[in-house]
């Protein structure tokens, strides 16, 4: 099965590869195009399985990096994910990390670009909150400290995370 990569992503990849670090912003534009094409899947978040489109595009990107003799493709991809995260935060797909005062965006601060308040999406909230609970349950289960009901609950938590694309084997 062939994945149809949007032309905007292909163009952004070509621009990024041809710039190869010479033109500031090409990798940022590439990351933004990937986020825009990913239909809300938070692929740039650790533990999330890459959707087919992003996986196919990543292969093309690595192939292009190899063709231009780029020395560290995995670092380039890491930077793409970083820029994708920053872009997702700027457009409100995900919340910014907690500020020093302990407040997260949407709890006590608003984005300076108008009156819009950006809070965590439901998916991100579930992923972040349930992951912490699932990990604690898994640890207690390994120690033999969970009841049968608690073990069953942890199975359901794993299912909830998998439904949102989280690869629990990477947690």
SS3 at position 109: strand
Q: What is the pTM of this model?
A: 0.54
Exposed, middle or buried by CB within 10 Å (0-12, 13-18, 19+), for 1?
A: exposed
User: What pLDDT sits at residue 110?
Assistant: 37
Distances (CA, A) of 138 to 46, 49, 144, 148, 149: 19, 20, 10, 13, 13
User: What pLDDT sits at residue 56?
Assistant: 93
User: What pLDDT sits at residue 116?
Assistant: 43
From CA 152, how far away is CA 131, in angstroms rounded? 16
Within 10 angstroms of residue 10's Cβ, the number of other Cβ atoms is 13
From CA 22, how far away is CA 81, in angstroms rounded? 19
Question: How does pLDDT run along the chain (171 residues), one tens digit per residue?
Answer: 678 888 888 888 887 777 665 556 788 889 999 998 887 788 888 778 888 899 999 999 999 999 888 888 999 999 999 999 998 888 877 777 665 445 444 443 333 344 444 456 777 778 878 888 888 888 888 989 889 999 999 899 998 888 888 888 877
């Amino acid at each position: 099965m062939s994945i149809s990569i949007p032309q905007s992503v292909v163009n952004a990849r070509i621009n990024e590869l041809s710039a190869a670090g010479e033109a500031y912003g090409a990798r940022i534009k590439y990351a933004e195009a990937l986020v825009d094409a990913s239909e809300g899947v938070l692929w740039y978040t650790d533990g999330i399985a890459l959707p087919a489109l992003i996986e196919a595009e990543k292969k093309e990107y690595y192939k292009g990096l190899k063709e231009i003799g780029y020395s560290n493709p995995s670092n380039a991809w890491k930077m793409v994910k970083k820029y994708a995260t920053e872009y997702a935060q700027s457009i409100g797909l995900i919340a910014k990390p907690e500020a020093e005062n302990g407040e997260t965006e949407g709890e006590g601060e608003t984005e300076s670009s108008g009156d819009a308040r950006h809070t965590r999406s439901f998916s991100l909230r579930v992923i972040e909150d349930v992951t912490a609970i699932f990990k604690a349950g898994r640890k207690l289960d390994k120690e033999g400290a969970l009841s049968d009901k608690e073990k069953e609950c942890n199975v359901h938590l794993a299912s909830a995370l998998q439904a949102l694309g989280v690869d629990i084997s990477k947690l």
